[in-house]
């Protein structure tokens, strides 16, 4: 059987008015924006072809496909939100 390994990592610089909190005592930390809690996730996109200008179009896969693909994932996604204590600086 063929396999695809997907590893996604990104850093998000959050404004001071956003918070990193747990919505309940036994839950992991979430990103809180305007009173609502959010977790990062991996989203499958469907290729829609090129438009008249030659730009490629993509659209979020529907729930049925997300569920179908999810049934074949060997290890689930483990969202993690944590503060980064070190900084990296890029030289010009």
What range defines the domain where residue 23 resides? 9-40
The answer to whether residues 46 and 73 belong to one domain is yes
Q: What is the pLDDT of residues 38-89, one digit of tens each?
A: 877 778 889 899 999 999 999 998 999 888 887 877 766 666 666 666 655 5
On whether the CB atoms of residues 61 and 44 are closer than 8 A, the answer is yes
Residue 64 is predicted with a pLDDT of 92
- 58 DSSP β-pair partners: 47
Instruction: Report how many domains make up the chain.
Output: 2
The answer to whether residues 54 and 71 belong to one domain is yes
Q: What is the mean pLDDT of residues 23-37?
A: 89
For residue 55, give both structure tokens.
């730009």
- The three-class DSSP label of residue 5 is coil
The answer to whether residues 57 and 71 belong to one domain is yes
Lowest mean pLDDT among 3-7, 21-25, 53-57: 3-7
Residue 74 is predicted with a pLDDT of 72
Residue 90 in domain: no
Residue 88 in domain: no
Render 5-44 in DSSP notation, one character per residue. Answer: -----------TTSEEE-SSTTSPPEEEETTEEE------
DSSP code of residue 27: S
Residue 66 is predicted with a pLDDT of 86
Residue 57 in domain: yes
Residue 2 in domain: no
The answer to whether residues 47 and 31 belong to one domain is no
């Amino acid at each position: 059987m063929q396999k695809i390994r997907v590893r996604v990592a990104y850093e998000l610089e959050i404004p001071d008015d956003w918070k990193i909190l747990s919505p309940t005592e036994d839950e992991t930390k979430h990103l809180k924006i305007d009173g609502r809690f959010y977790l990062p996730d991996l989203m499958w996109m469907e290729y829609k072809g090129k438009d008249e200008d030659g730009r490629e179009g993509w659209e979020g896969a529907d729930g049925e496909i997300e569920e179908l693909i999810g049934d074949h994932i060997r290890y689930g996604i483990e969202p993690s939100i944590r503060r980064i204590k070190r900084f990296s600086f890029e030289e010009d």
